[in-house]
Structure 1
Amino acid sequence: MIKAIRNIFNLPPKNQNQTNEDEGSKIPLKTDLEENIKTVKASLGHSPDIVIREIQIGKKGNIPAAVIFTDGLADTKSVNHLIIESLVTDIRITELDPEISSQTNTFDKLKKFALAVGDIKDSTDFETLFTSVLSGDTALLVDGFAQGLIIGLKGWEDRGVQESTSQNVIRGPKEGFSENIRTNTALIRRKINDPNLWLENQQIGRITKTNVSFMYIKGIASEKVIEEVRERLGRIDIDGILESGYIEELIQDEKFTVFPTVFNSERPDVIAAGLLEGRIAILVDGTPFVLLVPAIFTQFFQSAEDYYQRADIASLVRILRYLSFFIALLAPSLYIAITTFHHDLLPPQLLFSLAAQHEGVPFPALIEALIMEITFEILREAGIRMPRSVGQAVSIVGALVIGQAAVEAGIVSAVMVIVVAITAIASFVLPAYNMGNSVRILRFGLMFMAASFGLFGIMLGLIGIVQHLCQLRSFGIPFMASFAPSIPSDKKDGLIRLPRWEMFSRPRFLSQRNIIREDYPPIRGSKHNGKK
């Protein structure tokens, strides 16, 4: 059908434009420096931020050359000091003569004697030159040679390493990822100083050419998952990648689900812990959020602070998160079902109190809940989008004023305001924001089921949700592991967290390689139990 539509409107086949552009951009460099400079200026639209510095090099200063870089992306001081000053004033390169020197020997001498830079690559076509220069690198072209050097001197301004804003902890590291992908990889390598931590790079996006990397620990991560990540990233064909959310949506297993099947974090310690378990981290240049795959359901209820506190405290807090999850999901539905169909489940005094409060309200319980839930969602979005100085005040004051005014006006009952408030507070307990979004969506569906069939409708909805969860996969791994399928050895970090000495093995559902974290449990307590 798509092919027929393309034939009707004379549209080119998929990827034909890209192929033509690639063939056109694979133009080799010329030996004439002036022609190369004209091509660069014409191709880049004579943009003023593209700096082309023409210099004379060689012992006699009679060899024309050009240094090309993008102002604002390259480190200008390093370009002036390590390239231009070195080439102009250094007289050790005595054979920069295209008539008597081979191209390879000349550029080898430039690398070894004249350029005090570590990252140097060769370039023979304009596509490589444009991509490198527009990414922050510096290009060096010499007259008489159909070749250039790409010198890595990126130096744009970035936010630097700051505290994570979306995943705060009381105890633990405060550093968070930045928008610079090299800063992010360095933060991970600071946590894992091992040669088996491997990094692979790709450029995704026909126009943006965004740098995308994925990291894994060789010998721990599953080779099948590594190959699957490599293949899915290689299949992405899009004009631009601006944030890791693009990658997440394009590589996830299930395209239509409200539950997130790719985990993300802006904390280096969380990503390092995932790598040590056998997961794979996907980093995208330009965003502080790093993806972690495969992901499972219980992972979205775990916080970094769980592993920096004692096991009993961490387990108690984790149980509280699961309880909050069910409150945020079911509280409005249970209220609607009980007050509409199942009055006999309430104590008589509470039933009389609810009936008295609802006496002056003209709407049924479902309409009450919808009014309050939609109002709260509007206030929450307004608080997020407005400036930080007034956003919090708008969300809190707005909720209080509107809730009280709605009760006094007789639009909703006071109990409904309490139920919606508890639901909203419980949803904020979840560590993962995207899992909270899933609860927000499902809550409305369960409210309609409760209004139609009562508790029976809620049970049908829960059965459907559980069935859907059991069908989900994340890079081939069951989303509900280690509960479905049941893996007893992997439940030590699920609903609760066992003590550190009990967590001696890695999750078996991720990989069957290098399972054991430690050879034997550590000694707990004094050797003599406090006795001499």
Structure 2
Amino acid sequence: MNFFNFRKPKEMRYEYAPDTKTEVQKSVDETVAIFRDTFKDTNDVIFREFTTGDNQKVKGFLCQIDGISDKMLIDHFVMEPLTILSRRNDLTTEDLKVGIYEAIEKSTIAVTDIKEVDYIEEAMLSILSGETVLFLEGYDKAMIIASRSWPARGPSEPVSETVIRGPRDGFVESLRSNTALVRRRIRDPRLKVKQSQLGTRSKTDIALMYIEGLVDKGILEKVERKLKAINIDSILDSGYVQQFLEERKYTPFPQIQATERPDVSAAAIFEGRIVLMVDNSPTVLILPVTMTAFFQSAEDYYVRPFVATAVRLLRLISIIIAVLAPPLYIALASFNPEAIPAKLALSIAASREGVPFPAFIEMLIMEVTLDILREAGVRLPRPIGSTIGVVGGLVIGQAAVTAGIASPIAIIVIAVTALAQYSTPNYEIETAFKTVRIGIIFLSAVLGLYGVVLGIIALIIHLVMIDSYGVPYFEPLAPMNLKDLKDSMFIRVPWQQMKERPQYVNNDNKIRQAGGSSDQK
């Protein structure tokens, strides 16, 4: 038995931890050892050791990641000047101790955005963000050179928010490109872009955009507190942040608006609301929000007010049909046929002759089939997906009627429901009302028309109880606000009459235009 257990002492080595603070060393050799040990087995990290200064007596070290940094910029505007610098005899190590920016000025490095950091962790985070880090012998700071060059697609029209009239550009996965798309529309020096990071490992960049003087300071402070309280290892999309910021977790209705359109975001900022952008996500978040915003399209403000009002009324009627058509069919066919004309009741009964299922099961089968067809159409490639949606609906519907599994009236009801549901301009509110419809379907299967009425009352009570950062969700209907009714879910007055910003945004600058219709000749 071995009574003596001699162990070799562990080798002291640096281990990267974002929360620690390790100062940059003056020795380039020590810095190189730290970086090579941290990034070992990482083949996309570029290490470049060189000498410059007084007869090439000053050591230097440069580190960047291939693919997310601009190698051409570093080659032409950093390494080339440093190569020229190595032929000079008037810059020694002592010159570097005077100040790194003086050395940069003498070496004529032609890069606009350069800053210093004191800690190794800050330098590594900059490298992982696409920047290039430069170390020089004898200087205890790291030079961060802006060289981000992310692979990114160009702005294109959002698929989920298409318009006939209006801008065709949309947000992309690059945070800086997205802020630029908004700044192009808001040329106001009071537009603020407050950038920070979320995710202990992903270090995802996020940005809050708002106009100082228009934003509600209380809402802004509350949003910032909630963002600071998020403690998760990774943020891969704005949907992560949205779920952390929403105050009511167990409701199908979104309390934050999501959009891919820069014009919608700019309009929200002009109203005094806050726009939250997340890097790697083309979807930005807008808050606070009311349910009215989900029934409005950007195109409503680019056409005549009478046209916009008619379209909004059509959307409101469509969502009522989408929510109530299947439950009403179940209630009238199974419980309350006396509530409809006798000829219609006989027609429904004749169409259902031979169907082996009650109306509730019949409609439930149709709902599930509709959702399956929709998911198949979305997940498949676009040319195939559209074919599946059209052909699948026709073939399955006709086959169901022929086989006696569903009645023709049920096929008509579910088809009209689908068309009405898809007329809603916002996907999240559409899915929310679809969830509500399923609940009312079950109530109608148990209580008939009483269940439908009970479901409507419960829905209205639930909507009235929701708020988005202190803003009532059902505003301007509950509480009633006549001024905000000028631009609501069912009406849009001419621009000349919309002189004030929405009342639910608590700011000191309510007026957005001078004059009005009386000034027009």
TM-score (norm 1): 0.92
Q: Could you list the per-position Cα deviations for residues 371-419 of structure 1 after superposition, in whole angstroms to 9, with x for gaps in the alignment?
A: 0010110110011111222111112111111111111111110000000
CA deviation after TM superposition for structure 1 residue 462, in Å: 1.1
CA deviation after TM superposition for structure 1 residue 59, in Å: 4.5
| Match for residue 239 of structure 1 among 229, 233, 239 | 233
| Aligned partners of 1:296 and 1:479 also within 8 Å | yes
Query: In structure 2, what is the equivalent of residue 282 of structure 1?
Result: 276
CA deviation after TM superposition for structure 1 residue 162, in Å: 1.5
CA deviation after TM superposition for structure 1 residue 114, in Å: 2.5
Query: In structure 1, what is the equivalent of residue 262 of structure 2?
Result: 268
Query: In structure 1, what is the equivalent of residue 43 of structure 2?
Result: 48
| Match for residue 520 of structure 1 among 512, 515, 519 | 515
- Between the aligned residues of both structures, percent identity stands at 40
Question: Which AA in structure 1 matches 2:174?
Answer: N
Query: In structure 2, what is the equivalent of residue 215 of structure 1?
Result: 209
Question: Which AA in structure 1 matches 2:140?
Answer: A
Q: Which moved more, 1:100-109 or 1:149-158?
A: 100-109
Distance in 2, Cα, partners of 1:105 & 1:523: 64
Distance in 2, Cα, partners of 1:90 & 1:323: 73
SS in 1 for 2:512: coil
Give matches, 1:380-419, under 5 Å: 380-419=374-413
SS in 2 for 1:191: coil
| Aligned partners of 2:114 and 2:146 also within 8 Å | yes
Give matches, 1:83-94, under 5 Å: 83-90=78-85
Give the 3 Å change call, closer, same or farther, for CA 111–417 of structure 1 in structure 2: farther
Question: Which AA in structure 2 matches 1:171?
Answer: R
Are residues 1:28 and 2:23 paired?
A: yes
Query: In structure 1, what is the equivalent of residue 5 of structure 2?
Result: none
| Match for residue 421 of structure 2 among 423, 427, 433 | 427
Query: In structure 2, what is the equivalent of residue 321 of structure 1?
Result: 315
SS in 2 for 1:122: strand
Question: Which AA in structure 2 matches 1:356?
Answer: A
Question: Which AA in structure 2 matches 1:78?
Answer: L
Q: Which moved more, 1:310-319 or 1:394-403?
A: 394-403
Query: In structure 2, what is the equivalent of residue 11 of structure 1?
Result: none
Instruction: Provide the aligned C-alpha RMSD in A.
Output: 1.7
Give the 3 Å change call, closer, same or farther, for CA 524–155 of structure 1 in structure 2: same
Give the 3 Å change call, closer, same or farther, for CA 237–171 of structure 1 in structure 2: same
| Aligned partners of 1:214 and 1:280 also within 8 Å | yes
Question: Which AA in structure 1 matches 2:268?
Answer: G
Distance in 1, Cα, partners of 2:483 & 2:282: 33
Query: In structure 2, what is the equivalent of residue 295 of structure 1?
Result: 289
Query: In structure 2, what is the equivalent of residue 126 of structure 1?
Result: 120
Are residues 1:77 and 2:64 paired?
A: no
Are residues 1:500 and 2:495 paired?
A: yes
Q: Could you list the per-position Cα deviations for residues 442-492 of structure 1 after superposition, in whole angstroms to 9, with x for gaps in the alignment?
A: 111100111111111111111111111111111121111111111111111
Distance in 2, Cα, partners of 1:156 & 1:198: 24
The alignment covers a number of residue pairs equal to 506
| Aligned partners of 1:203 and 1:209 also within 8 Å | yes
Query: In structure 2, what is the equivalent of residue 176 of structure 1?
Result: 170
TM-score (norm 2): 0.94
Query: In structure 1, what is the equivalent of residue 329 of structure 2?
Result: 335
SS in 1 for 2:483: helix
Query: In structure 2, what is the equivalent of residue 196 of structure 1?
Result: 190
CA deviation after TM superposition for structure 1 residue 76, in Å: 1.0
Question: Which AA in structure 2 matches 1:304?
Answer: A
- The answer for unaligned runs of 5 or more in structure 2 is 1-14
CA deviation after TM superposition for structure 1 residue 525, in Å: 5.7
